[in-house]
Amino acid sequence: MLEEILKTRIMVKQSMKAYKHDKAITRMLEARQLGLKYIANFTYGYTAANFSGRMPCIELGDSIVHKARETLERAIKLVNDTKKWGAHVVYGDTDSMFVLLKGATKEQSFKIGQEIAEAVTATNPKPVKLKFEKVYLPCVLQTKKRYVGYMYETLDQKDPVFDAKGIETVRRDSCPAVSKILECSIKLLFETRDISQIKQYVQNQCMKLLEGKASIQDFIFAKEYRGSSAYKPGSCVPALEITRRMLAYDRRSEPRVGERVPYVIVYGMPGLPLIQLVRRPIEVLQDPNLRLNATYYITKQILPPLARVFSLIGIDVFSWYHELPRIQKTASTARSELEGRKGTISQYFTTLHCPVCDELTQYGICNKCRSQPQHVCPCASLLLGFAVCFL
The answer to whether the beta carbons of residues 47 and 56 sit under 8 Å apart is yes
Q: 349 by DSSP, 3-state: which? A: coil
Residue spans of the domains in the chain: they are: 217-291, 351-390
pLDDT by residue (tens digit) across 269-295? 888 899 999 999 999 999 988 999 999
DSSP for 12-26 reads HHHHHHHTTT-HHHH
Helix 106-122 and helix 58-81, axial crossing angle in degrees, nearest 10: 130
Compute the mean pLDDT over every residue in the chain, rounded to the nearest whole number: 83
| Separation of alpha carbons 68 and 92, rounded Å | 12
| Separation of alpha carbons 170 and 179, rounded Å | 7
Percent of the chain with pLDDT over 70: 84
H/E element holding 294?
helix 294-296
The answer to whether the beta carbons of residues 48 and 58 sit under 8 Å apart is yes
Q: 210 by DSSP, 3-state: which? A: helix
According to the model, what pLDDT value does residue 54 have? 75
pLDDT by residue (tens digit) across 223-251? 999 988 888 888 889 999 999 989 988 88
The answer to whether the beta carbons of residues 237 and 273 sit under 8 Å apart is no
Question: Is a pLDDT exceeding 60 seen at residue 334?
Answer: no
Q: Which residues have CB under 8 Å from 154's CB, separation 6+? A: none
Global pTM exceeds 0.75: no
207-211-216-221 Cα dihedral, nearest 10 degrees: 60
CATH superfamily ID and name for 217-291: B family DNA polymerase, thumb domain (1.10.132.60)
Q: 135 by DSSP, 3-state: which? A: strand
Question: Is a pLDDT exceeding 50 seen at residue 164?
Answer: yes
According to the model, what pLDDT value does residue 368 have? 73
DSSP state of 231: S
Average pLDDT over residues 52-60: 79
* Burial of residue 210 (number of CB atoms within 10 Å: 0-12, 13-18, 19+): buried
Buried b (16+ CB within 10 A) or exposed e, 34-63: eebeeebeebbeebbeeeeeeeeeeebbee
